Amino acid sequence: MTSQIPTRAVHAGEERSKPYGALTTPIVQTSTYTFQDTAEIMDFMRSKAAGGIARRVDYGRYGNPTQSAVERKVAALEGGDRALLFASGMCAITTTLSTFLSCGDHQILVRDVYHRTRDFAVNFLNRWGIETTFVPVDNPDAMAAAIRPTTRVIFSETPTNPYLSIMDLARMAEIAQAHGLTTVVDSTFATPINLRPLEYGVDLVVHSATKYLGGHNDLLAGTVVGSNHLLAQIEEARGVLGGVASPHDAYLLLRGLKTLEVRVRRQNENAQLLAEFLEKHPAVYRVYYPGLPSHPQYELARGQMSGFGGVVSFEVDGDMDRTSRFVDLLRIPYIGPTLGGVESVVQQPATLFSLDPDERRQAGLKDNLVRYAVGIEDPEDLIEDLRQALDGI
């Protein structure tokens, strides 16, 4: 098999010869797996007792052939030993953190982490006796200073949501390895097309596969990628906690992954053009995009990423109401909370986060901030749509 990413996206992880001579991997829609006789059961049990990766399963909570094909493909794309599929990105995150943290432990999270990841740390893990320190994503020294004797995990996103800050992954891994800590990176915004954190020494990579990996806004799933040793521990927790993806969602994800490279490359190109246009428009106060030289971590992003992603965040020159008028004037993107699909989706994060201004300020969300998740439409159409909306306010 070639090492090139586009070929891996199409072929990796799937058997060449499939049931019934089918070209596509089928949906194995079953919850229970049967045995021919007692001898087959005993072989299965001996295989489980010996450890390692099981050749088969007995119940759908522990695996599915369609799911396994997705896991092998994602592992090939990220360069990991194994991947695990979950019912959602948050399920992947919560199961992973629950695996490596116990009562009395401490973890470090970047301050700009996705708000539901923050919620899990503050409202659930804290209740279970696990403490969290939040540090700036662009300050490795603060991360190193936050380490305690009880620290077990460092968790980051890159780029972050919604301000698209960049973590120095090599420095993060260096700090963690010096203290024997497990590193986890949410790479949903980057995708393995633009960034592969394992290559920088990161231990585990998580994705909301609902987003770019699926690419069509029609499924919920999450993945974790890493070494056999770490994934075996997470797999054990997944079997107990039960956060498995359905066979049908696994099939949709497998289909979406085949076009991941071509979709993400187009979204990278579109986002770069939109960011450059927005930075020059007088009705835009500031643009956040790591592909712009004005981004404070532009050089880091250039050295670490092969593409800058399909999300552009920017501040409209005005208040919350003026920003809302701009969003409402857009004709092509849908208004919604998601990203990563072939359709462009826009949101004013303040309106979806909270009606309380104090809560928005505490979360660092400016009222005039817009997050534009760029699809694969024609870039000239998208730019002209932005122009008419900005000119209309």
End-to-end Cα separation, the chain, in angstroms: 53
Measured CA to CA, the distance from residue 116 to residue 100 in angstroms comes to 19
Measured CA to CA, the distance from residue 18 to residue 134 in angstroms comes to 48
Backbone angles phi, psi at 363, to 5 degrees: -85, -5
Q: Which two tokens stand for residue 200?
A: 């920088």
Catalytic residue among 112, 186, 203, 385: 186
Residue 186 annotated among the catalytic residues of the structure: yes
Three-class secondary structure of residue 334 per DSSP: strand
Measured CA to CA, the distance from residue 43 to residue 41 in angstroms comes to 5
Q: What single-letter amino acid sits at 89?
A: G
Catalytic residue among 61, 265, 322, 325: 61
Contact assessment for residue 282 and residue 263, using Cβ atoms and an 8 Å cutoff: no
Torsional sign, CA 256, 261, 264, 269: negative
Residue 8 annotated among the catalytic residues of the structure: no
Q: Cβ-count burial of 21 within 10 angstroms (0-12 exposed, 13-18 middle, 19+ buried)?
A: exposed
Catalytic residue among 211, 238, 266, 360: 211
Residue 258 annotated among the catalytic residues of the structure: no
Catalytic residue among 8, 62, 114, 266: 114
Q: Where are the alpha helices (DSSP H) in 101-160?
A: 115-119, 140-145
Residue 191, Ramachandran bin (φ over 0: left; ψ between -120 and 50: alpha; else beta): left
What is the signed CA dihedral for 384, 389, 391, 393, rounded to 10 degrees? 180
Residue 366 annotated among the catalytic residues of the structure: no
Give the catalytic positions in this structure. Answer: 61, 114, 186, 211
